[in-house]
Amino acid sequence: MKFALIRFILPLVALPALAAGPALIPLPQQMQVRPGVFTLCATPPVPGMPAQATTRILVDAASAPVGDYLAALLLRSTGCQFQVRTNTGSAAVRGAILLTTTNALPSLGTEGYELTVAPDSVVIRAPAPAGVFYGVQSLLQLLPPEVLSLQAARNVRWTAPCVYIQDQPRFSWRGWMLDSVRHFFTKDEVKQLIDAMALNKLNTFHWHLDDDSGWRVEIKKWPLLTQVGAWRTNTMFALNPRASTTWREDGNYGGFYTQDDVREIVAYATQRYITIVPEIEMPGHSSAALAAYPQFACGCLTCSNGPYSLSVTSYVGGVFCIARPETTAFLKDVLTEVMGLFPGPYIHIGGDEVNFGNWNKHTLDQQATNALGTASMQVYQGYFAQQMANWIKDQGRTMIGWSEIMNGGLVTNTAMMDWLNTMAVRTATNRQYVVMAASATLYINKWETGSSAGDGNGVVWSNEPPAQSGYVPLTNVYAYEPIPAALPAAYTNYILGAEGPCWTEWIPSLLNMQFRIFPRLSAIAEVDWTPAALKNWTDFTNRLQVQKQRYARMGINYNPSAPPPQAGTWTPTQTPATYSTRSWDITSTVTGPGEVNASFCWKAGANGLDIAWAALLENGVEVDRDTHAGFTYSGKITTNRPAYVLRLPAYRRGATYTLSASVQGHGGTNSTGIVYRPNWD
């Protein structure tokens, strides 16, 4: 009661929202909850046609696109047609949502806003349209989660509590990285992920578009990049091919975005005030490009880890020969077309994990290092990075690269993305901008739940699908502080913010991707937006329960942070010494057609479990079988494929569904585990 009374008397004191109050993520800097509610869309929709909403959306010229966005979203979820009208005034209008940039507080900056919800009106006021958009996101979160439904929701009371919010972000770079290389995501899938970013007020979409295992963006001057480099013969990384969704009719795996696709996605993101930062890898991680154009390699494609075949199942470390003038010309051609597609200020050139063995074995690169007077390959890479940074600056953009671009010394005219968590202090004190992307804390493709090893970096077992080795629980993500403790206060403004990369070596589908990044992306959003002094773990997890409801309405397959349903168990007495068939009744967990997934998870015992195949039976008749060798044991959950994808074409109510598998103990029968029915494929 004392806490609530203080909030009421001092409405702009920056305190966490009450658990029972508005569940906004990220938490606003200042919020006052006032008496009453605002009712939206009082006229019930008529089936088959939209009703005219009683609430109008009033906009000034700068806010008009945001008004159109809001009206379209509300039409989809409420079934009501909201009229968007121009209004030159700045005062609240009865029965209207007013979006305006007039008389806004200049101190709120380009992304801050004020939101006033009264019983008879709503006003969102901001110095710039981006702030208006973020105010709209807060308004949407004040409404029932059904407001984000993909189709009209019925029997919903569209009310929002009366509040006053004054808010602005802590950092200017609030990001998430999508790796479309290891797994290709369709245009519509990318848009869905962008919508989820917008809900969390994230503003930077870092898009990884090429690597050793694929090239994903059309370059008209160099067409083989996509004709050859966009396709491979398997999923790589020991993934179950049945879980993947982007196979071509000829059996090849992959895909690419045409330039028209990219323009459409850029426009979609721009409407949501999200800037896309494209990443084109150089000089390393370039096998796909070199498979298409081997003349830019170090003399041959077998001088290091080759041959550079896209059918292999491990990294092959392709590196451009940067001593060739024609290589630099090629890379500039590529980046020129990329810059024509992406209007944002930053161009990411990668620069991580370069295999220096290529240069050490190549005459031209050795001659180049001798001419520079160095034997250091790191210095040689730094020289290349500086030339690219200078050229990109001449094109009116700013280069950004991973930590390693600074290993050979300071590179100017560039920003740096610190995934190693070792370069930020040195780079920032040299007055170069830094984005924090620490792999140990922010790589949200790693396991979120499980039993961690003693060092905290390994995982003994997890209910989750195979993933990059490492344990990144939600609590650690939320506790992350982007400003390094060792950075002097005078240089903290050189930390632009933080982002959560999601690498897709172990991610074969959109559902799997969503399971990985949500809800941890909400934690990153609050790290980037909310001042550290206002963060509160318990309060965040309370608000997160409502955020998960929003995700569900958006069709997002978030990680519930709890074990999935069980199909059954095995114990030492049930573990056969040689392959035999075990069966479990899973009828209660099968509720409709589609994928019926099974994941074998070792929990205890001195021995693991081998799996030869798994099958789905309907009334005792086999419907589908997934045949691949799987293995589960302590710490052996990355490459051993103990997950099975089974497909049910049609669901028969009243039928009995059975999961069968051919299993044996590995090295003995002292094995105990659980067979889960996960929802992440």
- The predicted pLDDT at position 311 comes to 38
pLDDT digits (tens, 9 = 90+) for 625-671: 999 999 998 876 666 888 899 999 999 999 999 999 999 999 999 99
Q: Is 109 left (phi over 0), alpha (psi -120 to 50) or beta?
A: left
* Structural tokens at position 184: 């290709």
**b/e for 65-100, b at 16 or more Cβ within 10 A?**
bbbebbbebbbbbbbbbbebeebeeeebbeebbbbb
**Residue 353 sits in the same domain as residue 490:** yes
Q: Report the alpha-carbon distance of residue 149 to residue 187 in Å, rounded.
A: 20
- The predicted pLDDT at position 542 comes to 97
Q: Total domain count for the chain?
A: 3
Say if 559 falls within a structural domain.
no
**Residue 186 sits in the same domain as residue 152:** no
Q: Report the alpha-carbon distance of residue 283 to residue 352 in Å, rounded.
A: 9
- The predicted pLDDT at position 315 comes to 33
What are residue 304's phi and psi, to 5 degrees? -135, -95
Q: Are strands 159-167 and 121-125 parallel, antiparallel or unpaired?
A: unpaired
CATH of the domain at 105: 3.30.379.10
Under-70 pLDDT residues of the chain: 1-20, 42-49, 299-317, 453-457, 636-639, 681
- The predicted pLDDT at position 457 comes to 62
- The predicted pLDDT at position 130 comes to 98
Q: Are 273 and 132 in contact (CB under 8 A)?
A: no
Mapped onto helix, strand or coil, the DSSP state of residue 368 is: helix
Residue after which a domain boundary falls, among 145, 167, 189: 167
**Residue 310 sits in the same domain as residue 402:** yes
Mapped onto helix, strand or coil, the DSSP state of residue 660 is: strand
Q: Report the alpha-carbon distance of residue 126 to residue 561 in Å, rounded.
A: 36
Say if 540 falls within a structural domain.
no
Say if 554 falls within a structural domain.
no
Q: Are 540 and 27 in contact (CB under 8 A)?
A: yes
Say if 73 falls within a structural domain.
yes
CATH of the domain at 433: 3.20.20.80
- The predicted pLDDT at position 57 comes to 97
DSSP state of 573: G
Residue after which a domain boundary falls, among 167, 187, 214: 167
How many alpha carbons fall within 13 Å on the CB side of residue 612?
A: 10
**Could you count the other beta carbons within 10 Å of the beta carbon of residue 521?**
24
**Residue 369 sits in the same domain as residue 494:** yes
**Residue 354 sits in the same domain as residue 416:** yes
**Residue 109 sits in the same domain as residue 184:** no
Mapped onto helix, strand or coil, the DSSP state of residue 471 is: strand
What are residue 6's phi and psi, to 5 degrees? -60, -40
Say if 546 falls within a structural domain.
no
**Residue 163 sits in the same domain as residue 239:** no
Please give the helix or strand (H or E) that residue 477 lies within, else none.
Answer: helix 474-479
The single residue listed with the structure tokens 């990219």 is 262
- The predicted pLDDT at position 456 comes to 61
CATH of the domain at 589: 2.60.120
**Residue 204 sits in the same domain as residue 156:** no
Say if 558 falls within a structural domain.
no
What are residue 490's phi and psi, to 5 degrees? -65, -15
The alpha-helical segments, DSSP class H, found in 300-452 are 325-341, 357-360, 363-372, 377-394, 424-429, 439-442
Say if 636 falls within a structural domain.
yes
**Residue 141 sits in the same domain as residue 223:** no
* Structural tokens at position 247: 């196979």
Cβ within 8 Å of residue 371, ≥6 positions away? none
Mapped onto helix, strand or coil, the DSSP state of residue 329 is: helix
**Could you count the other beta carbons within 10 Å of the beta carbon of residue 222?**
18
**Residue 212 sits in the same domain as residue 272:** yes
Q: Are strands 621-632 and 608-618 parallel, antiparallel or unpaired?
A: antiparallel
Question: Which residues are registered as beta bridge partners of 372?
Answer: none
**Residue 150 sits in the same domain as residue 255:** no
Q: Report the alpha-carbon distance of residue 317 to residue 350 in Å, rounded.
A: 13
Q: Report the alpha-carbon distance of residue 521 to residue 519 in Å, rounded.
A: 5
Q: Where in the sequence numbering do the catalytic residues fall?
A: 211, 285, 353
**Residue 263 sits in the same domain as residue 381:** yes
| Domain of 53, in residue numbers | 2-167
Q: Is 305 left (phi over 0), alpha (psi -120 to 50) or beta?
A: alpha
Q: Are 608 and 641 in contact (CB under 8 A)?
A: no
Say if 547 falls within a structural domain.
no
Residue after which a domain boundary falls, among 135, 167, 199: 167
**b/e for 577-600, b at 16 or more Cβ within 10 A?**
eeeeebebebeebbeeeebbbbbb
Closest CA to 513 of 185, 25, 174: 185
